[in-house]
Structure formats: C-alpha cells, structure tokens
C-alpha cells in the first residue's frame, strides 16, 4: 500500500484492498471478435473458476478446457484459462483470465456464472485501483494505464509508456527528496528551539526544486497536445476542396468528394496522426447564405466548429478571385490561430492573396502538392513553434500540470520568505503545501474524491 495512504484514506475505500471480495468483469470490448476475456481478481478468484472449469489450473500457465454450468451441466464455451498467483499479478491479488470466443453471449454467460458463485461486478477501473491501493503502481502510473489505452499516435503512446515506467514519478520523488530534509530541519528548529539541530542549507534545495518544476511545466502544453490532440476546423466556402484535403491528411477517402458544390452538409470529424500529434479534424459544410433548412443547420454547425477549434485551416480556391463569402469567413475566424491553404494550385491562379493575414501554404488536392508543408506548419502552430526531443520527459496530463503549478507557486512563496528573513513558520507552511501537492501526483497524499474522479474515467474491466 502506498506510504501514508492509511492515514489519509477513508476506510470504505481501503476495504477494497483488504481482500474482502472478488471482482469480475468483461475486459474486452463488447461485440463480435476472435477472443473475449472475463477477468477475476480477489482471494476467491481461483475457487470460483475451479467450480466452472473442467481442468486443473496451473500458476502462470494457459490451460485448455471448457466452461460448464455447474447446475445444469451445460457446456458454455471452449476456453483457455490463465491463473496468476500473487505477487506476480496486475493487482497483487489472485487473478484469473478466462479467454473465450469473442461473442457477447458466451462472455455474458461466463460472467453471469462467476457472479452467481460469489464474485461481484467490478467498477470502472477497479482492477487498476486495486493495483494502486496494493502498492504495485503509484497514482501517476495508474493514470498512465488509461493514457496507453487512449493513445492515438506513436508519440502519445511513448509518453504514456514513459509514465507507466515511472519516469514522471521518479522525477517527482527526486524533487520531494530534495525538499524533505529542508522541511525536517526547519520543523526541528521550530519544535525544539533549545536543541542543537544539524545545519541544513535552505534556499538552495528550494531553488533547485522550483527550477525543475518550472521545466516540467514549460513542456506540459506540448505533452497535453500529444496526449489529447488539437481540435482543428477545416473551413471555407463550398467546393474549395475542404473534403479533399481532409482525405489527404487522413491518408484515406473518408469524406465524399464530388464536383457538385455543397456535398458536405454537416460536420465530419476524424483523427489524423500528423507528426505524432493527434489532430481532431472537423470537415465543415461550406459557409454560404442559404434558405435550405438542412444546409443552414450544417452551416451553423460549421460556425460552432470554428468557435470550438484551437486551430483553423482556411481553404481558399486560388483558381478564382476572392469572394464576399471568403471575406465573411475572414471575420468568422478572427482571433483564432489560422493557417490558409491556397488550394487548387495545379490550376491557373486568379486569387489575390495579399488580403490574407495568416501563413499561406499552396496546396493541390489533385497532385498532393504542399500537403507535407501544410502538415509541418500545422504541427509547428500546434506546439507553438517549439521542437520537442523524442526522449524528453513531457507532462501530458492536465491534472498533473495544475498540481505542478500549485507546488511551484508554494516554493516561490517559501523562497520569498527565506530571502525576506521571515519567520521559519512561513517557510515550513509553504514547503509542506508544496510537498502535499506533489504527493497528489504519486499518491502519497490522496482523497476519496480524487480517486473517484480519476478512476471513473476508466472502462470497466481495466
């Protein structure tokens, strides 16, 4: 169990880690597939499985057999069952995984059997919660499990795996180790003013810890973008090539493309991997004045897509002069980060682009000209022009960023108190607040509300 957890954690949550019950869930997506897995964790996991499995279990071995209803004798499915005894398990408890055929009926039948025999349905993320409560993972590593499941690009997967390996946790632990001796020394001086206390430098470690936090915070915006992606609206008047550009960026024909203006009458949303960044691309309906009800609804959704986007790719047809509709879109994207795609560059140019106030890339949806340049500029704008080394530690979690900012602010206040020769009580208060904040990342200081917030985002079965 994580250090200090029992002092801060409600008993109702602690009981989850005390082997009071056995949990079970379907751990694979519902629907038809080659394989489905029913997972159990807890002290009764092996006993329950042995009541429905017609073969002997072997620790950390896959065993072939059949699941049989003990009441009716009916064979439910042909399966492979793995039993894993602690401590070499995900939760540090007994774990059984029943690998059956991936249809909803066999999975549900097997789950119903284990629930009848004494298991209870697992809550969202409860297997990973138990791994945390039992001390196998710290809180940052547990959150990285969800990041791995939700990773959209190789880069976001790399960052998530770094988190699971404890890269951030180790950095936070090292920072805490710098600060703890300072807090201990100052506390001893305050509590035992008449005793000799071993001298300890105070401002140096605080300053060093603060600088390390500032570096982590500085890279967090890029990390969050790699993890969460950036919402990008592709806008323009009808028939300028928005859907064609979307298909090129996706490397597949996702949007319908025809010579008829106004083919796209609603927003279409897809994720593209561009330079390791997941871009949530929103192909919008061409923006014009229209009395057609369906078309008007699509145009209104296009306006909302612009409002919600962090980046706008404004597509212009360079084979024609700029129109009043183009200029109306100028006003709609005002205040946004905009990249202009001067499309149809394979045709003779008629457009005067001097009115455009944004970076311009000449593209052709027919030949593919300019697409790589467009992708490079999209990535640069998304990351604010920064170049991120592939082996750097990036904080990709918004909660972690907020905690780091809070801890850094407390260290700044502590340093100000030291430099202003304030009473040492002022320094210790801020030092303790900084340490408590950092503990919210690794799990040394957590609350039931925080755990509920984190693990409620997990799927059932993980």
Phi first, then psi: give them for residue 67, nearest 5 degrees: -90, 125
- Cα 12 from Cα 32, distance rounded (Å): 37
| Percentage of residues in the chain having pLDDT higher than 90 | 55
Pairing mode, strands 75-84 and 61-68: antiparallel
How many angstroms separate the CA atoms of 307 and 267, rounded? 13
CB 240 within 8 A of CB 170: no
- Residues 302, 306, 310, 315: what is their CA dihedral angle, to the nearest 10 degrees? 80
Give the C-alpha distances (Å, rounded to integers) separating 23 from 173, 251, 266, 356, 400.
32, 43, 44, 60, 30
Pairwise CA distance, residues 138 & 135, whole Å? 7
Summarize the confidence of residues 227-240 as an average pLDDT: 89
The residues of the chain that CATH labels 3.40.50.300 are 230-382
Which candidate, 330, 326, 345, 315, places its Cα nearest to that of 241? 315
- Buried b / exposed e across 445-462, counting CB within 10 Å, b at 16+? bbeeeebeebbeebeebb
CA distance 434 to 323: 56
Distance of alpha carbon 155 from alpha carbon 390, whole angstroms:
8
CATH of domain 230-382: 3.40.50.300
Per-residue pLDDT tens over the stretch 363-386: 988 888 899 999 999 999 988 765
Strands 75-84 and 95-102: antiparallel
Distance, CA of 172 to CA of 174 (rounded, Å): 5
Is pLDDT at 422 greater than 70 in this prediction?
A: yes
Following DSSP, what letter does each residue of 167-202 receive, concatenated?
HHHHHHHHHHHHHHHHHHHHHHHHH-TTS-------
3.40.50.300, 1.20.120.430, 3.40.30.10, 1.10.260.40: CATH of 151-219+394-435: 1.20.120.430
Q: Which part of the chain is CATH 3.30.1360.120?
A: 5-138
Question: 5-138: which CATH number, 3.30.465.10, 3.30.1360.120, 3.40.50.300, 3.40.50.720?
Answer: 3.30.1360.120
In degrees, to the nearest 5, what angle opens at C-alpha 166 toward C-alphas 93 and 449?
65
Whether residue 8 has pLDDT greater than 50? no
Residues of the chain with CATH 1.20.120.430: 151-219+394-435
pLDDT(303) > 50 = yes
- Confidence band of 232 (pLDDT split at 50, 70, 90): very high
Whether residue 87 is preceded by a cis peptide bond, meaning omega within 30 degrees of 0, is yes
**pLDDT class for 19, splitting at 50, 70, 90?**
very low
The conformation of residue 354, written as its DSSP 8-state character, comes to G
Phi, psi for 33 (deg, rounded to 5): -165, 175
Mean pLDDT of 69-73: 95
Using CA atoms, how far residue 449 sits from 35, 126, 137, in Å, is: 36, 15, 19
Is residue 245 predicted with pLDDT exceeding 70?
A: yes
């Amino acid at each position: 169990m994580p250090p200090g957890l029992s002092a801060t954690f409600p008993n109702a949550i602690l009981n989850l880690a005390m082997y009071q019950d056995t949990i079970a869930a379907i751990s694979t997506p519902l629907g038809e597939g080659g394989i489905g897995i029913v997972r159990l964790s807890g002290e009764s996991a092996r006993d329950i499985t042995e009541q429905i499995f017609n073969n002997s279990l072997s620790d950390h071995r896959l065993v072939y057999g059949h699941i049989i209803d003990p009441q009716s004798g009916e064979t439910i499915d042909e399966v492979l069952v793995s039993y894993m005894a602690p401590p070499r398990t995900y939760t540090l408890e007994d774990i059984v995984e029943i690998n059956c055929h991936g249809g909803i009926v066999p999975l549900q039948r097997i789950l119903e059997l284990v629930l009848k025999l004494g298991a209870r349905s697992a809550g969202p993320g409860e297997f990973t919660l138990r791994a945390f409560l039992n001390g196998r993972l710290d809180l940052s590593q547990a959150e990285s499990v969800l990041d791995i499941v939700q990773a959209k690009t190789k880069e976001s997967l790399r960052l998530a795996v770094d988190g699971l390996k404890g890269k951030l946790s180790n950095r936070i632990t090292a920072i805490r180790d710098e600060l703890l001796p300072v807090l201990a020394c100052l506390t001893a001086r305050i509590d035992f003013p008449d005793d000799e206390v071993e001298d300890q430098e105070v401002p140096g470690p605080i300053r060093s810890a603060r600088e390390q936090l500032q570096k982590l915070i500085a890279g967090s915006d890029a990390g969050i973008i790699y993890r969460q992606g950036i919402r990008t609206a592709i806008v323009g008047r009808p028939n300028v090539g928005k859907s064609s550009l979307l298909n090129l960026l996706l490397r597949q024909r996702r949007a319908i493309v025809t010579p008829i203006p106004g083919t796209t009458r609603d927003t279409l949303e897809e994720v593209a991997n561009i330079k390791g960044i997941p871009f949530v691309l929103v192909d919008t309906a061409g923006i014009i004045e229209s009395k057609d009800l369906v078309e008007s609804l699509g145009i209104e959704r296009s306006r909302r897509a612009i409002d919600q986007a962090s980046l706008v790719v404004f597509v212009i047809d360079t084979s024609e002069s700029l129109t009043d509709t183009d200029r109306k879109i100028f006003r709609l994207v005002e205040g946004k980060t905009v990249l202009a795609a001067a499309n149809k560059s394979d045709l003779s140019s008629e457009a005067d682009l001097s009115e455009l106030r944004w970076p311009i890339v000449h593209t052709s949806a027919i030949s593919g000209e300019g697409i790589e340049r467009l992708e490079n500029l999209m990535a640069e704008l998304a990351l604010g022009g920064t170049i991120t080394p592939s082996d750097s530690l990036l904080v990709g979690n918004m909660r972690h960023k907020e905690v780091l900012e809070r801890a850094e602010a407390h260290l700044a206040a502590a340093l100000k108190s030291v430099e202003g020769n304030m009473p040492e009580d002022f320094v210790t208060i801020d030092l303790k607040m900084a340490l408590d904040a950092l503990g919210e990342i690794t799990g040394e200081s957590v609350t039931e509300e925080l755990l509920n917030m984190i693990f409620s985002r997990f799927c059932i079965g993980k």
